[in-house]
Amino acid sequence: MYFCPYQFLHVHIHTYGTNRLTTDAPKFSSNEVSAMAVTTSTMASNGSTGVDGGDTASTTSSSASMPLRGAHRSKAIEEARAHLLKAERATKPSVTRWKAKLSTAGDQYCQAVILFYKAGEVEASKTYLLKACDCFKKKRSWYSAAKTLEQAMAITHKQGDLVTMSELAWRSAALFR
């Protein structure tokens, strides 16, 4: 990872309604900022490592938005189904555990959703996000439930279904109260 000179900027809103930028970082001139940008872009294009030893080329690419193909796709779906089995097990009481672990189930559903979305299974990811929302609602974790609905809303927006998206937005807004 590389150093970004703007990472310490904060926006403070005052009672007068004006925004004022304050910074906790040292001041950089525009020449220094452009030199840092050129240095990090050349490091990323060369594939060299950054200051912390991590690969900057892998952090600058957006591979999360591209669906997986072939063997990687089937492996991702397989891992997602394993997370679904864990989630289903956590939603049911057992002999040693009399209550369902709903927060664990919601987290497992969310991990499965990530893998389904990377594999290109958009409908499955939306379905399991709604199941995760139900788990969080039963646990009375309203913020997590609303955030999962917002993620489902983003997926629905990419699909172009505006009616369902507005319904999910209203449900999410009701949970944020």
**Amino acid 169: pLDDT:** 94
**Amino acid 16: pLDDT:** 41
pLDDT tens-place string over residues 16-51: 444 444 444 445 455 554 444 444 444 444 444 444
Out of 3.40.1380.10, 1.25.40.10, 3.30.750.200, 2.30.33.40, the CATH code matching 71-176 is 1.25.40.10
Q: Would you call 42 helix, strand, or coil by DSSP?
A: helix
End-to-end CA distance of the chain: 37
Orientation angle between helical segments 122-138 and 102-119, nearest 10 degrees:
170
CA distance 97 to 159: 40
Assess whether pLDDT exceeds 80 at residue 8. no
**Amino acid 68: pLDDT:** 78
Counting DSSP H helices and E strands in the chain, the numbers are 7, 2
**Amino acid 71: pLDDT:** 86
Going by C-beta distance under 8 Å and a sequence separation of 6 or more, which residues neighbour residue 42? none
Where are the chain's structural domains? 9-60, 71-176
User: CA angle 110-111-115, nearest 5°?
Assistant: 115
* Both tokens assigned to 169: 């937005």
> Which has the closest alpha carbon to 135: 145, 126, 147, 146?
145
* Both tokens assigned to 80: 């997602």
Q: What's the chain's average pLDDT?
A: 75
**Amino acid 65: pLDDT:** 59
